Amino acid sequence: MEKSEAVASVPLQPDLVKDRVSTSFKRKSKRNTRFISGLILPIVVVILWQTVSSLGWVTKIVLPSPLAIILAAKELILSGVLFTNLKISLVRAVFGFIIGGGLGLALGSFVGLSSRSEKLLDPSLQMLRTIPHLAISPLFILWFGIGEESKVLLIALGAFFPLYVNTFLGIRRVDAKLFAVSQVLEFSKFKQLKLLIIPAALPNILLGLRLSLGAAWLSLVVAELMGSTAGIGYMMLDARQFSNTDIVFVGIIIFAIVGKLTDSLVKWIEKHSLKWQDTYKG
Amino acid sequence: MEIKVEIKEKAFMKDQKSVQVLDDIHLTFNSGDFITVIGPSGCGKSTLLKIIAGLDVDYEGSVVIGSNEVKKPSIDKGFIFQEHRLFPWLTVEQNIAANLPLKKPELREQVNQLINIVRLNGFEKAYPKELSGGMSQRVAIARALLREPKVLLLDEPFGALDAFTRQHLQDVLIDIWLETKTTMILVTHDVDESVYLGTKVVVMKSKPGKVGHVIPIELPFPRQRTDQTFQEVRNHVLKHFEQLDQYSAVEG
Ligand SMILES: Nc1ncnc2c1ncn2[C@@H]1O[C@H](COP(=O)(O)OP(=O)(O)OP(=O)(O)O)[C@@H](O)[C@H]1O
Ligand SMILES: [Mg+2]
């Protein structure tokens, strides 16, 4: 309110405020319609699926009905099995992500800030990057067995490269023109980092974070399905052995939900920390 | 601050060949001068300004401001770039304060005053993407002024603006100069602007960049563009400018 009043006294820019108000209205209604139109397809699919199952066109071992899956989920929740396993999976993912992502962020910053360390480290790291990290999993199992270490390390490896590459890229994308400004204004090294390099690199770092979380999650699924004695992946393996396809579906859905939630969290951080960005929004 | 510019030669490497951009430039400005520099595009005006600012030290010669030789950029040599170069992630007031603590009451007060001077009240919390070109350039001016530089260097600061905003900012600049007596060096390609603002107009010619004339403008402030004497002085400068431009066109 304060802003728009003050603006009115500046004769040069009367339509700027009007613009801002009307776009915020538009944006809100646009978001609602997008949400609703995004729901149409899934609802239709679920209805069709339930019909096909109820009519008995497919056996429940191949494709249990949505209702059966919900009942299975309910049972798993009530017995506590779901949460025990979910907790174990989450702990693995978080540990692996912190180790791999943290290392990626640290090394990416290091290599980005000094061209000497770039020459020393980047060629080797880029070479390792070309190996699909899941291809290393047999090796990890040979070295560390199917215990926690091999799982956490596989997740860490998956989380490392997206953050490493994007942090490095982000730092190198700092505009040389703004760098000249920081020299003219005599920024200290610390202020240069805080006011110039980190904010300029942030869009890339957050992208790296999202990709890293995705990779960590994928690695978790693979690691657990390769063999484990607890976790959501184990729950699914176990269910498969007894042809409890509904529980397999519950596992898939849990993986999807947690993956989506973490992705939304980063998106939310992006939206709030990058509101200065002026980009095409469709 | 007296400014002594002695550039024997400035060259850039282009396709492994050295191309001379500035040649034998000797200029002395007095403290409190308002110098305007005009010249054809590519004659080395920006290069000259960057050398004075200490942003470019790869040349033969020296620049002395006061009693110190310029070796690197510093806050007592304010620089306003052709484009505003604001930090897109900082709001207007954060951009003005930049590395200085906005939390300190004295600084807060100064920033508010400057926002008043450049008429940006109400936009303190806006991000650069929400500003027009003229508003952004005003923020850049406020950012430079907050540091109270002894010398303010401006590289075609109003080039991208419409005539109305440009005239307003020219008057703002004159007011600030009259009040603070900061030595100003302003590059422009607009003869009108050079005469309206300058106490001395440096006319450059190109290939390589040299000083053609230094023309003192003795008109009192505030100046009137429509005055007959203003028009006469302007035509005088324009004549020199066109003459030099012709020569350099022939030589090149
Ligand atoms: N970094 C650079 N590397 C190579 N050549 C350069 C560089 N900067 C400028 N030049 C050359 O130096 C010459 C002078 O450039 P400068 O930017 O100083 O011109 P200017 O007078 O400011 O032109 P304008 O009025 O168009 O801004 C040009 O021929 C340009 O090609
Ligand atoms: Mg220029």
Cis peptide before B73 (omega within 30 of 0): no
Return the ∠ at Cα B161 (arms to B156 and B165), rounded to 5°: 115
Assess A180–B contact: CB distance below 8 Å, yes or no. Answer: yes
Tracing tokens 């069709």 back to the chain, one arrives at A48
Residues in chain B: 252
pLDDT above 50 for A103: yes
Does the distance separating the beta carbons of A277 and B88 come in below 8 Å?
yes
The CB-side HSE value for B146 (13 A sphere, CA atoms) comes to 30
Cβ contacts of A15 on chain B, cutoff 8 Å: none
pLDDT over 80 at A14, yes or no: no
Of B77, B99, B121, the CB nearest to A10: B121
User: What tens-digit pLDDT sequence spans chain B (252 residues)?
Assistant: 789 999 999 999 988 899 999 999 999 999 999 999 999 888 999 999 999 999 999 999 999 998 899 999 999 999 999 888 999 999 999 999 999 999 999 999 999 999 998 889 999 999 999 998 889 999 999 999 999 999 999 999 988 788 888 898 899 899 989 988 899 999 998 999 999 999 999 999 888 888 989 999 999 988 999 999 999 999 999 998 888 766 655 554
CB count in 10 Å sphere of residue A172:
15
Contacts of B98 in chain A (CB under 8 A): 185, 187, 191, 195
**In the CATH scheme, what is the code of domain A72-273?**
1.10.3720.10
Establish if B243 belongs to a structural domain: yes
Does B74 touch chain A if contact means CB atoms closer than 8 Å? yes
Helices of type H across A55-113: 66-79, 81-113
- Does residue B176 sit within a domain? no
- Quick one: how many helices (H) and strands (E) in chain A? 12, 0
Q: Is the beta carbon of B208 within 6 A of some atom in ligand 1?
A: no
CB of B12 closer than 6 angstroms to any ligand 1 atom: yes
Rounded Cα gap, residues A6 and A4, in angstroms: 5
**Tokens found for residue A178:** 């703004």
Whether residue A208 contacts residue A166, with contact meaning beta carbons closer than 8 Å, is answered with yes
User: By C-alpha distance, which of B89, B79, B84 is closest to B132?
Assistant: B84
A61 touches chain B (CB under 8 A): no
Q: Residue A79: CB partners within 8 Å, gap ≥ 6?
A: none
Pocket test for ligand 1, best of B47, B56, B245 (most atoms within 8 A of CB): B47
pLDDT confidence of A85, banded at 50, 70, 90?
very high
Domain count, chain B: 1
Angle at A27 between CA A25 and CA A30, to 5 degrees: 110
In 3-state terms, what secondary structure has residue A36?
helix
Structure tokens that stand for A210 in this block: 């999202």
A5 and B79: CB-CB below 8 Å? no
**Residue B194 belongs to domain with CATH number:** 3.40.50.300
Element (H, E) at A251: helix A245-273
Q: In the structure encoding, which two tokens stand for residue A50, read together?
A: 């339930």
Decide whether any atom of ligand 1 lies within 6 Å of the B152 Cβ: no
Q: Please report the pLDDT score of residue A5 as a whole number.
A: 41
Q: Ligand 1: does its nearest atom lie under 6 Å from the Cβ of B252?
A: no
Q: How far is CA A69 from CA A64, A66, A247, A249, A250, in A?
A: 7, 5, 7, 7, 6
- Distance, in Å, from the CA atom of A243 to the CA atom of A259, rounded to the nearest integer, reads 25
- Tokens coding A134: 């899941």
Q: Which amino acid is at B83?
A: E
Burial A212-243 (b: 16+ CB within 10 A, else e): bbbbbbbbbbbbbbbebebbbbbbbbbbeeee
CB-based contacts of B185, cutoff 8 Å, min separation 6: B3, B29, B35, B36, B37, B49, B52, B151, B152, B153, B154
Mutational pocket test of ligand 1: of B45, B52, B186, the residue with most ligand atoms within 8 Å of the beta carbon: B45
3-class state of residue A83 by DSSP: helix
**Banded model confidence at residue A10, pLDDT cuts 50, 70, 90:** very low
Report the nearest atom of ligand 1 relative to the CA of B209. Answer: 14
In a domain, B199, yes or no: yes
Helix (H), strand (E), coil (C) string for chain B? CCEEEEEEEEEEEECCEEEEEEEEEEEEECCCCEEEEECCCCCCHHHHHHHHHCCCCCCEEEEEECCEECCCCCCCEEEECCCCCCCCCCCHHHHHHCCCCCCCHHHHHHHHHHHHHCCCCCCCCCCHHHCCHHHHHHHHHHHHHHCCCCEEEEECCCCCCCHHHHHHHHHHHHHHHHHHCCEEEEEECCHHHHHHHCCEEEEEECCCEEEEEEEECCCCCCCCCCCHHHHHHHHHHHHHHHHHHHHHHHHC
In a domain, B127, yes or no: no
Instruction: Give residue A101's pLDDT band: very low, low, confident or very high (50, 70, 90).
Output: very high
What pLDDT, on the 0 to 100 scale, is given for residue A134? Answer: 85
CA B12 and chain centroid, separation: 22
Residue A41 CB burial class (10 angstroms; 0-12, 13-18, ≥19): exposed
Provide mean pLDDT across the span A101-123: 93
CA of B250 to the centre of ligand 2 (A): 22
Gap from A247 CA to chain B (nearest CA, Å):
47
Question: What is d(CA A258, CA A145) in angstroms, rounded to the nearest whole number?
Answer: 27
Here the ipTM equals 0.86
Token pair 């040389």: residue: A176
* Rounded average pLDDT over A193-200: 94
What's the longest Cα–Cα distance across chain B?
Answer: 59
Q: In chain A, what are the domain boundaries? A: 2-42, 72-273
How many angstroms separate the alpha carbon of residue B94 from the centre of ligand 2? 27
| Residue-number span of the structural domain to which B29 is assigned | 3-64+183-251
**How sure is the predictor about A8, in pLDDT bands with cuts at 50, 70 and 90?**
very low
